[in-house]
Structure 1
């Protein structure tokens, strides 16, 4: 089968198509013919060796896929054959390999996919959908004014909608460029501010009527310090940008002086098999019932994985970017 790998760290050009044996479904596993594979920003960082963890080489990226069960291993119900499923590879002991024509996954982790939800939409609801879903479980938006950075991206576009659905008082979107701002507004944000504007901090404060309760920081880096400037006294910054934490001691001391709180967010520790399946099933139903809109920004054939990474790395993408084998 065809798969994408990188055998050295570097730019998008290090991604290459290779021929590897098609995996066999082991005991308790299913073999899934991939219909779509999702791409995430942390995979871009891994490829460049800029992530919190350095992967072993060669690396076969891809932590989420969706497709059709083509074979079952020993002990697996044969009625799963031909079923449409989501394959959240990121919860496995070997959480990669999704940029490929086939993947295997434990049968108990393969989540049934309603006919009304496409393979591409399923990919958008795994890492990114579950992140948005559980961010709001850990720090609810109900009756609060909240800031959603990167609001036109995979997580942000879902977070805007889910926060509105949870009963946020006001959702303020932060994004770059008119097209992304318009998208955030169309998804339910009451205000959208361009982070490329020199006065965006003032813009956010004005949009929040000088009272911002929560920032969902999925960006990190130097932006985190700026987010503290717009957060109100007593507000909460939820940090969900693993590997990009850059707050200084003076930043933390200023937080204390303003009675602000910092909450960390890591998705994987929250996902037992039961929680994973229940959460994904709930998200799938929201899409199937038309209550959650998925933005598929770009689709690339597998041999253009480098172009897909380049699009994300240059922050030109909106919504979810997927590979189609």
Structure 2
């Protein structure tokens, strides 16, 4: 098979497209003929050998990637034969962290599979198995209603796109921030009530004017994945009693490198609650024996029904290095997906 392999930690160019041995499914496993592989910002950190919520590969060369969709074409010993030939999607990363998604073939436990309906294509399914489940997990920390006024930085990204749709589906007001006119236009086309270019220094004034015109004291919730000066300015636009929901594995803002921190006194003075929601807090909020699978199932159901429509940017598998470069330089929109 062809795959992307990482031989040494470092820049995107260290990802090489090459031929390697086909993986063999073990007991209780399947081998998937991959039609779409997900690329995550975390993948770019693991490529550099950085530690995040997932550990970097301990042995190189390694095949990155934790999200795949395709057709089950081979079974390991003892695997339910009904999976053979089925279209499926799976997140390879948990409960046991593993990689192998950037390839024409990938192996995973049958227990991680979700069957795909004919109406959901593989690229959208890959977006929802990771980005979609995270979005729903984030939304579990607030109650979105018609009175919600949500300020969404990175609104042209994979999670931001879905947050805008969810807020609008609930009858709320969605204010989306994005970098540059092209991304801002996409946020507006996605249904946001206001789309603002955060690269303009006067962007907070545009949001303030929008709120004032509607006699709103401020946003009720900020979904913050960007941190830094942009994140702080977004929090400054919260109304008293607002919610600051923080997600992302890094506490550094990608735009200016500044950490976003607030003292308890700053937040208390305005009655603002701030929550870091990824990881254990999210698992506890969802509850049950397998909270991640619960979120995956909900996410795929919402995509199948058309209530959530992930934005996808496709790259050929051989161009994984370019996909990483573009993702790190904020040159992508929606979920980045590799197509073998």
For normalisation by structure 1, the TM-score amounts to 0.91
Compute the displacement of 1:251 (Å): 4.6
Match status 1:315 vs 2:319: no
Match status 1:247 vs 2:254: no
Contact 2:196/2:206 (CA < 8 Å) preserved in 1?
Answer: yes
Which secondary structure state, in structure 2, belongs to the residue aligned with residue 91 of structure 1? coil
Compute the displacement of 1:32 (Å): 1.0
Quote the residue 1:158 is aligned against.
162
Match status 1:301 vs 2:308: no
Contact 2:129/2:299 (CA < 8 Å) preserved in 1?
Answer: no
**Distance across 2 between alignment mates of 1:323 and 1:165:** 29
C-alpha RMSD of the superposition: 2.2
Deviations 1:22-55 (A, max 9, x none): 2222111111111110111111222234553661
The one of 33, 40, 62 equivalent to 2:65 is 62
After TM superposition, the structure 1 stretch with the greater mean CA deviation from structure 2, 32-41 or 48-57, is 48-57
Compute the displacement of 1:267 (Å): 4.8
**Distance across 1 between alignment mates of 2:112 and 2:123:** 18
After TM superposition, the structure 1 stretch with the greater mean CA deviation from structure 2, 39-48 or 266-275, is 266-275
Number of equivalent positions: 322
Deviations 1:118-166 (A, max 9, x none): 1111111122111111211222222311111111111111111112223
Q: Do the aligned partners of residues 199 and 65 (structure 1) sit closer, same or farther apart at CA in structure 2, a change above 3 Å counting?
A: same
The one of 258, 264, 275 equivalent to 2:276 is 264
Quote the residue 1:282 is aligned against.
298
Match status 1:110 vs 2:110: no
Q: Show the 5 A alignment for 1:125-144.
A: 125-142=128-145, 143-144=147-148
Which secondary structure state, in structure 2, belongs to the residue aligned with residue 306 of structure 1? helix
Contact 1:174/1:195 (CA < 8 Å) preserved in 2?
Answer: yes
Q: Do the aligned partners of residues 320 and 47 (structure 1) sit closer, same or farther apart at CA in structure 2, a change above 3 Å counting?
A: same
Which secondary structure state, in structure 2, belongs to the residue aligned with residue 17 of structure 1? strand
Contact 2:132/2:159 (CA < 8 Å) preserved in 1?
Answer: yes
Task: Specify every segment of 5 or more residues in structure 2 that has no aligned partner in the other structure, as ranges.
Answer: 253-258
**Distance across 2 between alignment mates of 1:77 and 1:52:** 34
Task: Specify every segment of 5 or more residues in structure 1 that has no aligned partner in the other structure, as ranges.
Answer: none
Q: Show the 5 A alignment for 1:1-325.
A: 1-49=1-49, 52=52, 55=56, 56-58=58-60, 59-142=62-145, 143-168=147-172, 170-208=173-211, 209-244=216-251, 246-248=259-261, 251-267=263-279, 270=283, 274-297=290-313, 299-325=314-340
Contact 2:39/2:338 (CA < 8 Å) preserved in 1?
Answer: yes
Q: Do the aligned partners of residues 276 and 179 (structure 1) sit closer, same or farther apart at CA in structure 2, a change above 3 Å counting?
A: same
For normalisation by structure 2, the TM-score amounts to 0.87
Deviations 1:93-114 (A, max 9, x none): 1332211111111112100111
Deviations 1:202-221 (A, max 9, x none): 22233333321111112234
Quote the residue 2:255 is aligned against.
none
